[in-house]
């Protein structure tokens, strides 16, 4: 018998991404448990990572007060869209199974620091938080219910833009949601828009920038077209911090940058200011 015998079964080593969280901004590595314990905030550069919709709701809404609405509203495959990688219906159904959500925004009534509100939270994990017909319908219905119940509206945006699988009807949601928020404002009901990383494309070009107050988290990416597209169009090099939350605040597009740990208290303070 040999002193050493070769193990025929190689050891099962989990991939690095299963053990470590990597900050998208400074590329620091840290155990996933530590990342989660710190509310998905990088302890080295203070980048505020992405949260699932339910995680965000648990942080913002008073415990036990959130009541979801319009969950039955979902996507529409009116184009029967498909490309080289497969059909839209299969992709979105797989996303629904993976995330447990039926659309890219979760809407519901709640209280925030004891103040009533209509709360919407987008989930980037749902097809890049894209703005589809179901997304727009949920937001429009939420605005209508907020008007009936005299509730201010709070929306956390996180999106790559319009959902092009749904064609022109997806782009129409930009006007639809903007009009719904306009009606809300006509009745003196405030809209607090929270732009999180990332908020881009058709969402940043519509309701996300229409808040009575627009706030964001540190180092969030906020813009319309991508950096390379803009640079290739204008043939100029953009500043390193272009489209960052700090750049937008400096140039007047954002009212305030708020740390994640302070967001709930800040929103509650604003709602109290408006008398809700």
Residues 130 and 234 in one domain: yes
The pLDDT value recorded for residue 256 is 97
What domain count does the chain have? 2
Same domain as 56, residue 41:
no
Residues 56 and 79 in one domain: yes
The better pLDDT of the pair 125, 21 is held by 125
pLDDT band at 28 (very low <50, low <70, confident <90, very high): confident
Give the per-residue pLDDT at 15.
61
Domain identity same for 16 and 76: no
Same-domain status, 18 and 88? no
Question: Both 229 and 95 in a single domain?
Answer: yes
163 occurs within a structural domain: yes
Q: Tens digit of pLDDT for each residue in 93-112? A: 999 999 999 999 999 999 99
Within a domain: residue 38? yes
Is residue 82, in this structure, part of any structural domain at all?
yes
In this structure, is the dihedral angle defined by the CA atoms of residues 172, 174, 177 and 183, taken in order, positive or negative?
A: negative
In the chain, the percentage of residues whose pLDDT exceeds 90 is 79
The confidence band for 16, taking pLDDT boundaries of 50, 70 and 90, is low
Residues 206 and 165 occupy one common structural domain: yes
Lowest mean pLDDT among 15-19, 150-154, 157-161: 15-19
Q: Which structural domain range is residue 28 located in?
A: 12-47
Average pLDDT, the chain: 93
In a domain, 72, yes or no: yes
- Residues 77, 205, single domain; the answer is yes
Give 234-261 pLDDT, tens digit per residue: 999 999 999 999 999 999 999 999 999 9
Cα–Cα distance, 50 to 220 (Å, whole number)? 10
Q: Do residues 147 and 229 share a domain?
A: yes
* Same-domain pairing of 255 and 209: yes
Residues 6+ away with beta carbon under 8 Å from 192: 152, 153, 154, 155, 211, 212, 213, 215, 267, 270, 271
Lowest mean pLDDT among 23-27, 155-159, 189-193, 196-200: 23-27
- Regarding predicted confidence, which is higher, 275 or 141? 141
Q: Answer yes or no: is 6 within a domain.
A: no
Residues 142 and 35 in one domain: no
Enter the tokens of residue 29.
């590595």
Is residue 3, in this structure, part of any structural domain at all? no
- Shared domain check, 126 and 258: yes
Domain assignment present for residue 205? The answer is yes
Q: Give the C-alpha separation, 73 to 249, whole Å.
A: 35
Mean pLDDT of 27-38: 87
């Amino acid at each position: 018998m040999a002193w050493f015998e070769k193990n025929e079964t190689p050891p099962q080593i989990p991939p690095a991404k299963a053990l470590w969280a990597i900050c998208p901004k400074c590329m620091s590595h840290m155990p996933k448990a530590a990342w989660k314990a710190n509310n998905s905030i990088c302890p080295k550069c203070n980048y505020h990572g992405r949260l699932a919709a339910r995680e965000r709701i648990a942080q913002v809404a008073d415990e036990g007060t959130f009541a979801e609405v319009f969950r039955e509203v979902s996507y529409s495959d009116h184009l029967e869209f498909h490309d080289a990688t497969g059909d839209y219906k299969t992709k979105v159904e797989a996303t629904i199974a993976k995330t447990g959500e039926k659309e890219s925004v979760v809407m519901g009534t709640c209280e925030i620091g004891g103040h009533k509100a209509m709360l919407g939270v987008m989930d980037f994990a749902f097809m890049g938080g894209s703005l589809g017909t179901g997304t727009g319908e949920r937001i429009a219905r939420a605005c209508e219910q907020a008007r009936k119940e005299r509730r201010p509206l709070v929306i956390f945006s996180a999106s790559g833009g319009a959902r092009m699988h749904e064609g022109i009807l997806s782009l129409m949601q930009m006007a639809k949601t903007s009009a719904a928020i306009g009606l809300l404002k006509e009745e003196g009901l405030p809209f607090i828009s929270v732009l999180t990383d990332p908020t881009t494309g058709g969402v940043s070009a519509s309701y996300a920038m229409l808040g009575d107050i627009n706030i964001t988290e540190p180092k969030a990416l906020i813009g319309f077209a991508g950096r390379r597209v803009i640079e290739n169009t204008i043939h100029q090099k953009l500043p390193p911090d272009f489209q960052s939350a700090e750049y937008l605040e400096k140039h007047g597009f954002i009212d305030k940058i708020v740390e994640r740990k302070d967001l709930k208290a800040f929103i509650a303070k604003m709602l109290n200011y408006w008398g809700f």
